[in-house]
Amino acid sequence: MSADTVITLPEGAPEEVVTHSFLREVDLSAFGAKGTLALITLDNGLDHNRPNTLGPKTLIELNERITEAMNSSAVAIAIIGKPFIFAAGADLSAISFVSDRSQALAIGKLGHDVLRRLHESSKPTFAFINGLALGGGLEIGLHCNYRTISATAFTALPEVFLGLVPGWGGATILPQLIGPEKAVQVIMVNALNNNTMLRAKDATALGITDAIFEPADFLEKSVQFAADIVSGKKKFERQDHSSDAAAWDAAIATGEAAMRKKYGAADIASPRKALDLIKSARTSSRGEGFDAEDTALTDLVMSDPLRASLYAFNLIQKKRKKVEGAPKAALARKVTRVGVVGAGLMASQLALIILRNLKVPVVITDLDQERVDKGLAYINAELQKLVEKRRLSPEGAARLSALVSGSTDKKAYAGCDFIIEAIFEELPLKQKLFAELETIVSPECILATNTSSLSVTKMAEGLKNPERVIGFHFFNPVAVMPLLEIARTQSTDDATTATAVAIGKELKKTMVIVKDSPAFVVNRLLTRFMGEITDAIDEGTPPEIADAAMTPLGLPMSSLQLLGLVGPGVALHVAETLHGALGERYKISPTMQAFVTNGVRTFYIKDGDGKQIVNPDALALIHAGDKASTVEEVRNRALTALAQEARMMLDEDVVATAAEIDLCMLLGCGWPLHLGGILPYLDREGFSESVAGQRFHPAGVASLPK
């Protein structure tokens, strides 16, 4: 594959946004060195919301500038990005359209052919990482001999998170540069931990970058750094990490542990291939490593999991910006004071996130002063933790603390523009609360409920202003889980909905507007499939068999582990609500009833060594029949149930599109990215058509083109 070969993408693929390369020479005499520095600037000509990306045309143009720099009289070559952006990696927009293996292989080889010229150059090469550098962007830097970084920059190799591997040199060069243990941390552990990025100081501490400078004079200091290298004033000696076999074995073990933690026993291709590349980097030459990267990258590009990951990733990015079915933003009312009803853990979390993001007065209430004080103490303790982590200044924490207050008198809500309740899940209690609040607040004050399964419509019955009642369902823990289900009743007006969406944006949540229906989206689907697991146990399937049914999918935790997290009491309550509303397909498990009656909170416990074991108290309460199922039978019935329920939800207009269901399950319960969302998975596995006679998505969505 020649570096000047043009790759023709399939018909229908989006046009590449070309990041252009601009070459100029910088005189080094003012920096104490002879000659000039050939400085290549990467710039796509767009604002900072569209970072530099690297597609085939971009790489070919970069190759031309590298050739010019090599043929010039310059004594060194450097690459920098546009302001605040170095490069955010490969342009992945066309990957889902690639249908030919040779084409996928050509993309990998082109990246290697161009970037490897930077480390093979007879002139010293430098990367001036002046801003965000992700994936292929960081790999540009790794191919250079030396790297500086701006103090405000972030960097990462996120490929494994997306279902790829660092395929333009990263998986080979990084372990050789900083050692296997650190490389596994960056390539595997950070990527699998929701794509954790490195701050500039961390990248420098790891040895990825050689010097860190403040952004105000970053270019000047970086040119000085290059001049010092060229003149011999500054020298670097790179450590050879290849001789310590034990370190490589330990690093590989760390990577394998990270895979097990993320995916359990499921065999997921991208982290496994990344680990293989890291392992081989100990003994392989760069050329051999790059060839192995090309093969691994091609295998992944030509696989359904990669297409699924890209579909899921792009869906999440798109829906963060646009909420399907949201009224015009101009209809939103201004919110200057917020009330939270309740002072328990969930209510306190809600008060804290509202306080931190809206920065308006927040008042909480509860039945007695002791509970109120406990809620306020939690909020202030969390603010202090943020100060200790240097995510909030002491002055900022003091200002926020002064904005939150508590009371046992609901009259404290007078003057609030938005009130959210998080009291016990009993409909009569919530109805009574809203009726009482209506006598205290203005007709425009929005009354929101954090209910997970009850009818928002019924909560508004009998109110003078039912149009200002809305569901505002968060997931626990509130600060971490990105999804917010906004449940609109037939009475809820546009101003109320627009205000709720505006608040959700301030809270940095990804929102889905749902029809007010039993348990909305996430809890309805979770309860349905978890019900199939517990039903199988009640019928006589050994718990370990039933719990292993979904293991091949790579879910964040098993069904019975999730039960322990949610709690049998909550799970039973939601199941009872759905049973009453939707009928016999939501069965009431006698085992779950026994768990709740006897106070058994989890199926698994930890032994003295911290290992997970089955809780004997739970085993003793199982009401088992004599009809045992196999792992495959339990998995098939659970997935069939999910396909049935999802089709019913779309027919009932619970959400606007199938993509909304995918988004809810991705962000609300951690449905794995590599599956591409629940509905594309059911499409690929044939459950959609076998259950309802049709796919949820057109053929080719989140899978290879056919």
Token pair of 523, please?
Answer: 């809890």
CA distances from 332 to 340, 416, 505 (A): 20, 15, 12
Is cis: bond before 175, omega within 30 of 0? no
| pLDDT, mean of residues 18-42 | 97
Runs of H (alpha helix) within 72-133: 101-120
Domains and CATH numbers, the chain: 20-302 (3.90.226.10), 329-515 (3.40.50.720), 522-653 (1.10.1040.50)
Amino acid at 278: I
pLDDT at 178 over 90: yes
Q: What band does 1 get if pLDDT is binned at 50, 70 and 90? A: very low
Tell whether the model's pLDDT for residue 384 goes beyond 50: yes
Q: How confident is the model at residue 98 (pLDDT cuts 50, 70, 90)?
A: confident
CA–CA dist 133, 53 (Å, integer): 10
For the CA atoms of 182, 187, 193, 195, the dihedral, rounded to the nearest 10 degrees, stands at 120
The alpha carbon dihedral of 7, 12, 13, 16 has a sign of positive
Mean pLDDT over each residue of the chain, to the nearest integer:
94
Per the listing, tokens 């007879």 go with 122
Which pLDDT belongs to residue 7?
65
Using a pLDDT cut of 90, give the percent of the chain over it: 86
Strand 211-213 vs strand 146-150: parallel, antiparallel, or unpaired? parallel
pLDDT at 5 over 80: no
pLDDT band at 566, cuts 50/70/90?
Answer: confident
pLDDT digits (tens, 9 = 90+) for 486-514: 999 999 999 999 999 999 999 999 999 99
Question: What mean pLDDT do residues 361-378 have?
Answer: 97
- Signed CA dihedral, 505, 507, 508, 511: sign only: negative
Q: 412-445, pLDDT tens digit by residue?
A: 999 999 999 999 999 999 999 999 999 999 999 9
pLDDT (mean) for 225-248: 95
Q: Residue 132's pLDDT is what?
A: 96
Distance in angstroms (rounded) separating the CA atoms of residues 580 and 586: 9
- The half-sphere exposure of 594 on its side-chain side, counting CA atoms within 13 A, is 14
**In 654-692, which positions are buried (b, 16+ CB within 10 angstroms) versus exposed (e)?**
bbeebbbbbbbbbbbbebbbbbbbbbbbbbbbebbeebb
Model confidence at 610, pLDDT cuts 50, 70, 90, reads confident
Q: Which of residues 556 and 131 earns the better pLDDT score?
A: 131
Predicted TM-score (pTM) of the model is 0.89
Average pLDDT over residues 122-139: 97
Instruction: Compute the average pLDDT of residues 365-372.
Output: 96
